[in-house]
Every structure is written in C-alpha cells, then in structure tokens.
C-alpha cells in the first residue's frame, strides 16, 4: 500500500519536475536552473530559486564543511556518497559545503618525477578516482557533484562516466577530461589528493572517512553515517533554514509509521 503510494508520488514528481526539465524550453542541467531569472522560469523552478537565493543572501554563519575521503569503487563509499552526502547537500546547500577527496587507501610512488598510483580496487578504481578529481577541478561544484552522483549510482562507474558528463556537465568536452586524466594535470591533482589524505589527523583507518569542519571522531562518523542531515542542521550556528525544520518533521512522521 505504502509502496504503491510512493510509486504514484514518484511518477507525479517526475511529471511535474522531470517532465518539464526535459521539455524543449529547458535544456539546462539542474545545476544551471537558478543561474538566471529566465532559466528559472523556463525550467519551472522560479519559486524554488527565489527562495534558495533569498536564504543564501540571509546566511549569517559559517557553512558546515563536510569532507569525504573515499575511493571510487568502494561499495560503502558509493552508498554514502549517493544516498547520504549528495542528497543532503542538495537539501542543505546554503548551510553546507562539501569537499571530496577521491584517493582513500591508494598508494603513490614517484617514478622519474611522475607519480604512479596503486588503488585498493585496482586500475579501474584509479581511473574512476582520476576522472572525478579532474571533474572537481574543471567544472563548478554543483555540476561536478551531479556528475559524480550519476557515475557512482550507475552499475558500472567507469563506463557511465562519459554519458554522465554529457548529461550533467555539458559545457565540458569529454576530450578535455580525457587529457586531464592522462596528462600531467591529473597526475598533479591526484598527488594533491594523496597529500590531503596523508595530512589527516587522526590518520584515516578506513573509507569512507568523514570529516566535519576538518575534524574526525567516531561520534561524528557515526552521526554522519546515520543522518548527516540532522548532524548538519544541528551543527549550523546560524538561524536554521526552512529545510532543517521542515524535513525533521518529515523524518519523525516516517518513524512513527514504521
């Protein structure tokens, strides 16, 4: 019964939002919908954009900064990234910033001035880490996150990469990602990831390894893994945005029904 209701709701939402997003008047990826008044109107999200711009302009406290040290093919990382971190960021974008560091338990060696990487889940994982690192460097944060979400929720992270880029980072040419991935730039960027990961204090013991405002404790890791949403809302020092109040009510009523 509940499942059927959910399905109907999902279809309705798709018709309402997905349907209009892909209509001829809105050809922009979601990260660009609010970029101007015209695009917001064309994509049918004017109200949402005005509200989100308003909240942003009234933001008074520092954003809660969530860092994720992960590997592109580690199942726990993929789950946290796609089911927890990025959905939370979509809801709490105004009060939360995200730092993604794809590297995790990889190792590097300097061979004649170039770094050679070895990854826990093999060559394919090194490639996935590198594609995501290049994306994070070459496009704005929202487009990069949407593209990475698309890759990490696909059956095959690597073979989905090109179509995810086409869909969510259409201003980027795949060739430019490819030359970053195979060139000095990617090599240097991945070395930076290695340095950031090695600089963690305390040092990471597993992946996904979560930091909040630069700190890692067992308690923060636990809370972030169970409900990052509640954690970020509770740690934000400014006036709570509507999303924090509204969705917390939603969570409570879900648990009453179970």
Ligand X SMILES: *[C@@H]1O[C@H](CO)[C@@H](O)[C@H](O)[C@H]1NC(C)=O
Stretch that binds ligand X, among 48-56, 80-88, 197-205, 206-214 (CB under 6 A): 48-56
Stretch that binds ligand X, among 36-44, 59-67, 151-159, 205-213 (CB under 6 A): 36-44
Cα distance from N-terminal residue to C-terminal residue, the chain:
13
Q: How far is the CB of 44 from ligand X (least distance, A)?
A: 12
Lookup: tokens for 40: 């917001």
Residue of 46, 41, 10 lying closest to 26 (CA atoms): 41
Binding of ligand X at residue 195 (CB under 6 A)?
Answer: no
- Name the packing angle between helices 218-235 and 242-257 (round to 10°): 120
Binding of ligand X at residue 34 (CB under 6 A)?
Answer: yes
Q: How far is the CB of 34 from ligand X (least distance, A)?
A: 5
Q: In this structure, what are the phi and psi dihedrals at residue 109, rounded to the nearest 5 degrees?
A: -135, 140
Stretch that binds ligand X, among 49-57, 96-104, 113-121, 215-223 (CB under 6 A): 49-57
List 49, 84, 92, 100, residue binding ligand X (CB under 6 A) = 49
Residue of 22, 103, 99 lying closest to 65 (CA atoms): 99
167 by Cβ neighbours in 10 Å (0-12 / 13-18 / 19+) ranks as middle
Binding of ligand X at residue 37 (CB under 6 A)?
Answer: yes
List 185, 191, 196, 240, residue binding ligand X (CB under 6 A) = 185
Residue of 130, 110, 135, 138 lying closest to 181 (CA atoms): 130
Which is closer to ligand X, CB of 35 or CB of 217?
A: 35
Residue of 174, 115, 90 lying closest to 139 (CA atoms): 174
Binding of ligand X at residue 53 (CB under 6 A)?
Answer: yes
Q: How far is the CB of 219 from ligand X (least distance, A)?
A: 31
Binding mask 85-104 for ligand X (x = CB under 6 A): --------------------
Q: Please tell me the distance from the alpha carbon of residue 47 to that of residue 85, in angstroms, as a whole number.
A: 25
List 29, 31, 32, 40, residue binding ligand X (CB under 6 A) = 40
Binding of ligand X at residue 50 (CB under 6 A)?
Answer: yes
Within 8 A by CB and 6+ apart from 89, the residues are 66, 96, 98, 145
Q: How far is the CB of 69 from ligand X (least distance, A)?
A: 17
Binding of ligand X at residue 36 (CB under 6 A)?
Answer: yes
Yes or no: say if 69 and 208 are a contact pair by the CB < 8 Å rule: yes
Residue of 240, 222, 176 lying closest to 80 (CA atoms): 222
Which is closer to ligand X, CB of 176 or CB of 234?
A: 176
Stretch that binds ligand X, among 20-28, 70-78, 185-193, 249-257 (CB under 6 A): 185-193
Q: Which residues bind ligand X (CB under 6 A)?
A: 34, 36-37, 40, 49-50, 53, 137, 185, 188-189
């Amino acid at each position: 019964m509940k499942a059927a209701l959910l399905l109907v709701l999902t279809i309705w939402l798709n018709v309402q939002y997905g349907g209009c997003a892909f209509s001829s008047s809105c050809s922009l990826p979601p990260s660009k919908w609010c970029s101007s008044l015209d695009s917001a109107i064309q994509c049918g999200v004017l109200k949402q954009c005005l509200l989100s711009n308003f909240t942003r302009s009234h933001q008074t406290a520092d954003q809660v900064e969530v860092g994720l040290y992960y590997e592109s093919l580690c199942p726990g990382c993929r789950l946290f990234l796609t089911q927890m971190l990025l959905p939370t960021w979509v809801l709490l974008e105004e009060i939360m910033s995200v730092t993604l560091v794809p590297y995790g338990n990889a190792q590097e060696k300097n061979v004649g001035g170039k770094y050679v990487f070895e990854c826990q889940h093999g060559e394919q994982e090194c490639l996935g880490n590198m594609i995501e690192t290049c994306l994070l460097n070459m496009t704005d944060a929202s487009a990069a996150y949407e593209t990475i979400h698309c890759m990490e929720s696909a059956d095959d992270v690597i073979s989905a990469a090109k179509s995810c880029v086409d869909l969510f980072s259409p201003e980027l040419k795949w060739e430019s990602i490819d030359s970053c991935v195979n060139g000095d730039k990617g090599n240097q960027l991945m070395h930076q990831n290695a340095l950031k990961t090695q600089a963690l204090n305390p040092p990471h013991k597993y992946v996904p390894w979560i930091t909040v405002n630069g700190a890692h404790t067992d308690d923060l890791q636990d809370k972030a893994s169970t409900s990052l949403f509640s954690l970020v809302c509770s740690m934000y020092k400014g006036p709570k945005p509507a999303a924090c109040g509204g969705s917390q009510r939603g969570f409570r009523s879900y648990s009453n029904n179970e």
